[in-house]
Amino acid sequence: MNRRLRLSSILFRLAVIVALLPQASAARAQLDDDEPAAAPGPARVIHGAGPAAPSSSDDADDDDDKIKPDEALPAPPRRAPVARPSEEAPAEEAAPPAPERKPVRSSPAEVEEAPAPAPAPAAPQFVTRSRRVKKCKAHHKHCHWVTIKEKVPAGSAGQSVSTRRVLASPASGSTPAGGSDDVIPAHDVEGSTTASGRPADAPEAPSSMSFDLVQESGPSAADAAIVERKVKTRRSMLEVHQAFGIATSALMLGTVITGQLNYSDRFGGGGSSGQFEIWHSTLEMATVLSFATTGLLALFAPVPFEKKSEGIDSVTIHKWSMLVATIGMASEIPLGIYTVSREGYVNQGTMAITHLIIGYITAAAMTTGVSALFF
Amino acid sequence: MLQTIALSVALSAGTMWNLDASKSTVSYHLVHKLHQFTGTDHGHLDGKALMKPDGTVQAQVVGHVKDFDSENSNRDEHMMETVEAARFPNVSAKALVHFDPGQASGTQKADAKVEMNLHGKNETKTVPVTLTYEGANRVHVTSDFDASVEGFGIQRPQLLFVPINDAMGIKLDLWFDRAQ
C-alpha cells in the first residue's frame, strides 16, 4: 500500500515537472530578450511566446487570460539592465583590460561614448580613487550618499567620471521601480566630478582645489564602527550622568538645609521638636542613591578614545572633588545613624556637630566638582 | 638622467615648501554661555605648499582631531565624539592664494580661497591671509576667520543642556620651510 502511494507520489511530481518545463524555458528566453532593452519604448511584444500555464479544464474559459501573440505583456518586474561589453563604445573595447570598478547598470542607449584613450601601455598601473554618489531607492524617495572606491588607470586619474563611466540618464526613466541595487542617475554622481573634485565639464581653472599635496590616512571601517558604538554608549551614559548630577546637587542642597534646621532644632535651642528629621532622612537617602547612580554611570561608561593625561585640568578637579564627596557621604551615613542612636547620651551633641561639619565639607566638595566643569 | 628630468619638471612646476610642524599651530575657539575655550594642535600637523612661478600658491595642511588640546581632557574627548573622530579622524584645509611672485621678502596680504574638511564635510571660504618672509627659505603664514559648526554637519555640543555658539573661530599660525 505504501509502495503504491510512493509510486503515485513520484508520478505526480514527474507530471508537475513535465508541465512546468515549457513555462520555465519560455520565461528564461523572455528574460534573455529583456536584458538589453530596458530603455523605455513601446510596450514589449512577444511573438509566439511559450504556452501559458496549462490547465486542462479551464482552457475554454481562460482564453482571455492567455497571452496572445502581438499582445502587450504587463510590465514584468523590471531588472536593471547590465551594460554588456559588446554594447559599449568601440573605443572602450580597444582599451586595456578594464580595471575593477563598481558596476553601474544602464541601458545601452544611455551609454556615453568615451573618447579613444591613448595607446595602452604594456602593464597598465591603477590608482584607487574615492567618489561620493547618491544611491536612491523607490524613485528617489530614499536617497543617501555613499563613498565608493574604484580603481582607475593611472593615466586617466584626472579624466572625467562621466566620460569613463556608464551613466544612466534620469530622463530615460531607467531607474528601477523599486530595486535594491539601483541605477545611479547621472545627475546624482556628485557634480560628475573628476577624481580630484573638479566639475567634469569645467576646464581646470587656477582656482581649482583639485590638488593633493599631503596624504591623508584613516581607520578601517570595522574599527570605526566599533569605536562609534562605544562613543554612542558613552555619550548616552554621560548625558544621563549629567542629569543625575544636577538632580544630586539639588537634593544635596535640600539635605544640607534640612540637616542644619534639624541640628538647630535639636541642639540649638529650637525646642527639639524633631519636625525636620524625617525631611532630612528622606532627602539624605535620595541624595545618596542619586549620587551613587551618577558616579556609577561615569565609572562604567566605555572609553572609546585613548585618554590624554596632561596635568591638572577641570575634569581632574571634578573627579578629585567627587572622590572627597564620596568619602564624606560614606562617612555621613554611619555617623548619622550612630548620632541618632546616642539619644540621651552626653556625646550626642558632639556627634551631631561632627555630622554637620562633614555634611558641609561634602556639600562644598560637590559644589567644587560641579563648578569645575564650567571653566 | 631620470633624476635630472624629474628635477627640471619639479622646478618648472614651482617651489615646494614643507610645514614646520614643531612651530605651527592651528586652533579653534568656541563660546558657551558659561565659558569659552580654545583647542590647539601643537606640533602634530602635516602640510605642504607649492608656489608656482606665477605667484599662485597651493597649500594643504592636515591635522588629526585627537591632537587638539583644550586643556580639558574630557572636553577634548567630547569634541572627538562630536566630530565623530572614529569615522573622520582628520581635519584638513586646502588653500589657494595668489601672492606677488616678485616680492620675496617682507609681508604680503591676500585673500585665500580655503576649503576646510571637518567631520567629512567640505566648507569653502575666502579668508584673509598674511604671509611674512622670515628669510629666503622660511615663511610665516597667519590667518584668522570664523566658520560655522553646523556648516560642517556637526551637532553643537551642550553643557548643562545649553549648546555652544555656532560660530567657531579658527586661527592658523603656520611656518613653512623651502624644500631642499
Structure-model confidence comparison of residues A123 and A174, the more confident one: A123
Q: Which of A32-36, A245-249, A255-259, A307-311 has the lowest mean pLDDT?
A: A32-36
- Which band of pLDDT confidence, cut at 50, 70 and 90, is reported for residue B170? very high
Within an 8 Å CB–CB cutoff, is residue A301 touching chain B?
Answer: no
Q: What residues have CB less than 8 Å from A68, skipping those under 6 apart?
A: none
- Which band of pLDDT confidence, cut at 50, 70 and 90, is reported for residue A33? very low
Interface of B with A in 69-88 (CB under 8 A): 69, 71-77, 80-81, 84-88
Bridge partners of B107, per DSSP, are: B132
Structure-model confidence comparison of residues A10 and A86, the more confident one: A10
Residue contact B96–A207, C-beta within 8 A: yes
Give whole-number Cα distances, A350 to A346, A362, A364, in Å.
8, 18, 21
Option in A211, A214, A316 nearest B46 (CB): A214
- Check pLDDT > 60 for residue A303: yes
Q: What residues have CB less than 8 Å from B103, skipping those under 6 apart?
A: none
How far is A214 from chain B, CA to nearest CA, in Å? 6
**Range A92-107 average pLDDT:** 40
Extents of the domains making up chain A:
2-65, 85-115+123-217, 227-372
Within an 8 Å CB–CB cutoff, is residue A207 touching chain B?
Answer: yes
Q: Which of A185-199, A254-268, B148-162 has the lowest mean pLDDT?
A: A185-199
- Which band of pLDDT confidence, cut at 50, 70 and 90, is reported for residue A150? low
* H or E segment to which residue B62 belongs: strand B56-64
Residue contact A242–B160, C-beta within 8 A: yes
ipTM value of the model? 0.73
Give whole-number Cα distances, A250 to A236, A256, A316, A367, in Å.
22, 10, 23, 11
Within an 8 Å CB–CB cutoff, is residue A227 touching chain B?
Answer: yes
Residue contact A310–B73, C-beta within 8 A: yes
Within an 8 Å CB–CB cutoff, is residue B180 touching chain A?
Answer: no
Taking CB atoms and an 8 Å cutoff, what residues of chain A touch B113?
A: 207, 209
Share of chain B above pLDDT 70, in %: 93
pLDDT at B19: 94
- Check pLDDT > 50 for residue A291: yes
* B68 inside domain: yes
Candidate ranges A131-135, A156-160, A343-347, B28-32; pick with highest mean pLDDT = B28-32
* B6 inside domain: no
Taking CB atoms and an 8 Å cutoff, what residues of chain B touch A307?
A: 73, 77
Q: Which of A25-34, A346-355, B75-84 has the lowest mean pLDDT?
A: A25-34
Taking CB atoms and an 8 Å cutoff, what residues of chain A touch B58?
A: 211, 213
Option in B49, B59, B72 nearest A315 (CB): B72
Q: What residues have CB less than 8 Å from A59, skipping those under 6 apart?
A: none
Within an 8 Å CB–CB cutoff, is residue B96 touching chain A?
Answer: yes
**Range A96-113 average pLDDT:** 40
Within an 8 Å CB–CB cutoff, is residue A312 touching chain B?
Answer: no
Give whole-number Cα distances, A270 to A278, A359, B15, in Å.
16, 20, 86
Residue contact A216–B90, C-beta within 8 A: yes
Within an 8 Å CB–CB cutoff, is residue A308 touching chain B?
Answer: yes
Within an 8 Å CB–CB cutoff, is residue B36 touching chain A?
Answer: no
pLDDT at B84: 87
Taking CB atoms and an 8 Å cutoff, what residues of chain B touch A318?
A: 74
What residue numbers bound the domain in which B127 lies?
Answer: 14-178
Structure-model confidence comparison of residues B163 and A94, the more confident one: B163
pLDDT at A86: 37
Taking CB atoms and an 8 Å cutoff, what residues of chain B touch A213?
A: 47-50, 58-60
Of the CA atoms within 13 Å of residue A362, those in its CB half-sphere come to 27
Residue contact B35–A374, C-beta within 8 A: yes
How far is B22 from chain A, CA to nearest CA, in Å? 17
Q: What is the CATH number of the domain that holds B84?
A: 2.40.128.110
Q: What's the CA dihedral at A117, A119, A122, A128 to 10 degrees? A: -20
Which residue is closest to A211 within chain B, CA to CA?
A: B58
Structure-model confidence comparison of residues B108 and A20, the more confident one: B108
Say how many CB pairs under 8 Å bridge A and B: 88
Taking the C-alpha atoms of residue A158 and residue A211, their distance in angstroms, rounded to an integer, is 11
Q: Which three cell numbers stand for residue A237?
A: 551614559
* B109 inside domain: yes
Structure-model confidence comparison of residues B10 and A222, the more confident one: A222
Option in B56, B76, B87 nearest A224 (CB): B87
Within an 8 Å CB–CB cutoff, is residue B42 touching chain A?
Answer: no
Q: Residue B47, exposed/middle/buried by CB under 10 A (0-12, 13-18, 19+)?
A: buried
- Check pLDDT > 50 for residue A84: no
* B54 inside domain: yes
Structure-model confidence comparison of residues A104 and B54, the more confident one: B54
Q: What residues have CB less than 8 Å from A289, skipping those under 6 apart?
A: none
pLDDT at A162: 36
Tell me: the pLDDT tens digits for B88-144?
A: 889 999 999 998 888 878 899 999 999 999 998 999 999 999 999 998 899 999 999
pLDDT at B73: 79
Taking CB atoms and an 8 Å cutoff, what residues of chain B touch A209?
A: 94, 96, 113, 115, 124
Structure-model confidence comparison of residues A323 and A90, the more confident one: A323
- Which band of pLDDT confidence, cut at 50, 70 and 90, is reported for residue B43? confident
Q: How many residues does chain A have?
A: 375
Domain count, chain B: 1
Single-letter residue type at A135? K
Best interface-test mutation with B: which of A131, A198, A220, A231 has the largest number of B CBs within 10 A?
Answer: A231
Which residue is closest to B60 within chain A, CA to CA?
A: A213
Taking CB atoms and an 8 Å cutoff, what residues of chain B touch A212?
A: 60
pLDDT at A165: 36
Option in A211, A308, A374 nearest B73 (CB): A308
Whole-angstrom distance between the N-terminal and C-terminal Cα of chain B? Answer: 19
Q: Which of A39-43, A131-135, A215-219, B173-177 has the lowest mean pLDDT?
A: A39-43
Alpha helices in A70-137 (DSSP H): 90-94
Share of chain A above pLDDT 90, in %: 25
| CATH topology assigned to domain A227-372 | Four Helix Bundle (Hemerythrin (Met), subunit A) (1.20.120)
Tell me: the pLDDT tens digits for A311-337?
A: 778 888 999 999 999 999 999 999 999
- Which band of pLDDT confidence, cut at 50, 70 and 90, is reported for residue B61? very high
Structure-model confidence comparison of residues A236 and A59, the more confident one: A236
- Check pLDDT > 70 for residue A247: yes
Option in A207, A213, A305 nearest B77 (CB): A305
Bridge partners of A152, per DSSP, are: A127
Within an 8 Å CB–CB cutoff, is residue A299 touching chain B?
Answer: no
Average pLDDT score, chain B: 87
